[in-house]
Amino acid sequence: MPESAKLNCGDVELDLPVIEGTENEKALDVSQLRRETGLITLDEGYVNTGSTRSAITFLNGEQGILRYRGYAIEDLAQNCDFVEVCYLLIYGDLPNGEQLAEFRSAIHSHTMLHEDMRMFYDGFPRDAHPMAILSSVVSAMSTFYQDALDPANPEHVEICIHRLIAKLPTIAAYSYKKSIGQPFIYPENDLTYCENFLRMMFAVPCEPYEIDPDFVTALNMLLIVHADHEQNCSTSTVRMVGSSNANLFASIAAGVCALWGPLHGGANEAVVNMLTQIMEDDGDVEKYVAMAKDKEHGFRLMGFGHRVYKNFDPRARIIKAACDRLLDKMNIDDPLFHIAQQLEEVALRDEYFVSRKLYPNVDFYSGVIYRAIGIPVPMFTVLFAMGRLPGWIAHWKEMHASKNKRICRPRQVYTGENIREFVELSDR
Ligand code: CMC
């Protein structure tokens, strides 16, 4: 591969340097393009655009590789605790015992919500979507911790990180309790991250609650496989908002909103709704595959396809295997799991899906596990957000530490009216 590419534009000949990453992926550096030629690049949906250099996550969509800080997702999902993975993503290395104990203890000291923050929940309608509650309450954290919001102050950033990781499960569980009219359950710091979340979700003050270790294992794995995915829509949003020097809470709240959409994290909720619809429609899988292929219809198979993965999504493989294990162990015969499997089989041999390289993605089977754990459907994307939080934080931090940091401000090709003469209201 040459070190640069030549661009001829009128009288100007420009050398565009080829930048190479540590895994040999290559990019054309167009940073001098406009200055030298007056041109900008146009790449709607950023399909060919690298927005940054990043040392956090490597993924290869052709080979189905996903690594956090150099570690294979398969190894991390099998061997780690989610809090260890948070540390890895945010600080760059797996923690030793002492570092992990210190990190856990910092998180434990922030798990409760300020009592006034609980009041917000009185104001939300009972059927409010928990993603709306999550983004609102995270955004509101910047009103409670005004003395520690400076993105340039490492101590402020550190305490914001601890507060976010500690409080997200509490905020999430309270939104569920609000929706069913049960009292909020305070966090219990002797428990692990996942145990604590399950207890806050499902315990009630009047009865003992036993935490199922299989649920803990499944939840821990799900949080880990969702923890980062380089420059996806929500992470790019966090970086974009953070690039204006908005505080970390504001940036993460924006990320939650971006994740909510059904083409991104909201797909896990949409998958289960779609599978339920197919089940209620006599399980007619072929009909829905045909609908997905019909462009007039506008229907998509939720949980299928990915911008980057064009072979298989390694996260989907891990989740499907865990799903098999959990349902088997719990002796659950979930009709939605059967429909999901049939859908996958039909789609994987259908020319439409094969030629477009559309495979089940991370959201396709995760909902089946969430259902088995008892997580209600509207909470699915909230769990995705809990998992993605350390990735968002790691990218926000990396961006601020970069000497190349500039406000993210894309350009456009204007296609509107040319200058028009102003017409008085009475003459229009
Ligand atoms: N069902 C039917 N057709 C599809 C699907 C689908 N799920 N996904 C893509 N296509 C078709 C699309 O119509 C297009 O066909 P053609 O070339 O004939 O116009 C072709 O495949 C390429 O699709 P695209 O929309 O240009 O691809 P993209 O990279 O812009 O979009 C995607 C990626 C994930 C948004 C898309 O595949 C999709 O909408 N999938 C369903 C939603 C989903 O599961 N989202 C979760 C993504 S993974 C987790 C995450 O990132 O949050």
* DSSP collapsed to 3 states, 146-210: HHHCCCCCHHHHHHHHHHHHHHHHHHHHHHHHHHHCCCCCCCCCCCCHHHHHHHHHHCCCCCCCC
Give residue 156 CA to ligand 1 midpoint distance, Å.
39
What's the rounded Cα separation, in Å, for the pair 178 and 355? 46
Q: Count helices and strands (H / E) in the chain.
A: 19, 6
Active site residues: 306, 363
Give this prediction's pTM: 0.95
Q: What does each of the 428 residues of the chain score in pLDDT, given as a tens digit?
A: 778 999 998 888 999 999 999 999 999 999 999 999 999 999 999 999 999 999 999 999 999 999 999 999 999 999 999 999 999 999 999 999 999 999 999 999 999 999 999 999 999 999 999 999 999 999 999 999 999 999 999 999 999 999 999 999 999 999 999 999 999 999 999 999 999 999 999 999 999 999 999 999 999 999 999 999 999 999 999 999 999 999 999 999 999 999 999 999 999 999 999 999 999 999 999 999 999 999 999 899 999 999 999 888 999 999 999 998 999 999 988 899 899 999 999 988 999 999 999 999 999 999 989 999 999 999 999 999 999 999 999 999 999 999 999 999 999 999 999 999 999 999 99
Helix 130-144 to helix 248-260 angle, to the nearest 10 degrees? 170
CB 105 within 8 A of CB 96: no
**Residue 297 Cβ contacting ligand 1 at under 6 Å:** no
Nearest CA to ligand 1 atom 4: 300
Residue 19 DSSP SS3? strand
Burial of 124 (0-12, 13-18, 19+ CB in 10 A): middle
What's the rounded Cα separation, in Å, for the pair 374 and 96? 34
**Residue 265 Cβ contacting ligand 1 at under 6 Å:** yes
Nearest Cα residue to 90 out of 98, 99, 59: 99
Give residue 305 CA to ligand 1 midpoint distance, Å.
5
Nearest CA to ligand 1 atom 37: 305
Give residue 303 CA to ligand 1 midpoint distance, Å.
9
**Residue 343 Cβ contacting ligand 1 at under 6 Å:** no
Give residue 306 CA to ligand 1 midpoint distance, Å.
6
**Residue 362 Cβ contacting ligand 1 at under 6 Å:** yes
Instruction: Tokens for 265, please give them.
Output: 């994290």
Instruction: Tokens for 281, please give them.
Output: 């429609």
Nearest CA to ligand 1 atom 39: 263
Nearest CA to ligand 1 atom 16: 356
CB 136 within 8 A of CB 120: yes
